[in-house]
């Protein structure tokens, strides 16, 4: 069976995030105040063929650690997605 999975890749705590900081600085000029701790990241959507959801997530975590993220600076987490 195919399980939809989403992998979120974010910069590790303590790693500078110039993209997130720039977005945060732009917000007040657009009238959005009170927004802090903005962090930019990436998300990947995929379908994974597996016997059950747990093994699909396990496979997603493994491929996220091997390719989708650079563990030196990034964290990756896999979660269930929705079909479509």
Q: Can you give the binding site for other proteins, defined by CB under 8 A?
A: 14-16, 18-19, 22, 67-68, 70, 72-73
How many Cα atoms are found within 13 Å in the side-chain-facing hemisphere of 84? 1
Question: What's the min distance (Å) between Cβ of 27 and other proteins?
Answer: 16
Given the complex with other proteins, which of 18 and 31 has the nearer CB atom? Answer: 18
Pick between residue 43 and residue 55 the one whose CB is nearest to other proteins: 43
| DSSP reduced 3-state for 26 | helix
Compute the radius of gyration of the chain from its Cα atoms: 16
Q: How far is the CB of 52 from other proteins (least distance, A)?
A: 28
Which tokens go with 42? 């990436």
């Amino acid at each position: 069976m195919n399980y939809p999975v989403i992998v979120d890749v974010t910069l590790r705590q303590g790693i500078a995030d110039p993209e997130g900081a720039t977005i945060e600085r732009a917000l007040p000029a657009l009238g959005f105040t009170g927004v802090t701790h903005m962090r930019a990241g990436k998300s990947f959507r995929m379908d994974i063929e597996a016997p059950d959801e747990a093994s699909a997530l396990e496979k997603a975590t493994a491929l996220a650690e091997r390719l989708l993220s650079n563990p030196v600076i990034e964290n990756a987490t896999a979660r269930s997605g929705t079909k479509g």
